[in-house]
Amino acid sequence: MTKPIQVDDASFEAKVLKSKTPVLVDFWAPWCRPCLMAAPVLEELATEYNNRITFAKLDVDQNAQTAAKYSIMAIPNLIIFKEGKPVSQIVGFKPKEELKKDLDAVLK
């Protein structure tokens, strides 16, 4: 079982932008019910995509700087970073199968 890692404003560059593997960042907040519903799905995917994609969570309430940098104005908001650049973005609650399509597209 691989759990998503926690990232914040301070660690974002080191853990996400400089990561060697692609990183999916889940921009979320505790008051967002769809985010809470998406969390267990992302945990399952973190295990399934272990070593291929790193899963990370960033609380937008606590880390306004990073949220503003990527213009997060709707959550759940998943951005996949590859070599420091956002390559894919998924806004809103999506079923697991749809998320997998996006993840597989990034790995191609």
Partner 1 sequence: MTAKKEYDVIIIGGGPAGLSAGIYTSRSRLDTLLIERGVVGGRITDAELVENYPGFADGISGAELGQLMQRQAAKYGLNIVTAEATGLELKKDKKVVKTTQGDFTAKAVIIASGSERGKLGVPGEVEVTGKGVSYCATCDGPLFRGKTVAVVGGGNAAISEALYLAKFASKVIVIHRRDQLRATRVLEEKARAEAKIEFLWDTVVEKIEGEKALDQLSLRQVKTGQKSSLDVAGVFIAVGLKPSTDFLKGVLPMDEGGYIITNERMETEIAGIFAAGDIRRNSPRQAITAAGDGATAAVNAEIFLES
Binding site for partner 1 (CB under 8 A): 29, 31-34, 37, 60-61, 67, 71-75, 77, 91-93, 95-98
35 is catalytic: yes
Of residues 32 and 54, the one with the C-beta less far from partner 1 = 32
Q: At closest approach, how far in Å is the CB of 42 from partner 1? A: 14
**Could you give the residue ranges of the DSSP H alpha helices within 1-108?**
12, 33-48, 64-69, 96-107
Chain centroid to Cα 75, Å, comes to 11
Query: CA-CA distance, 108 to 88, in Å (whole number)?
Result: 13
Catalytic one of 16, 23, 25, 35: 35
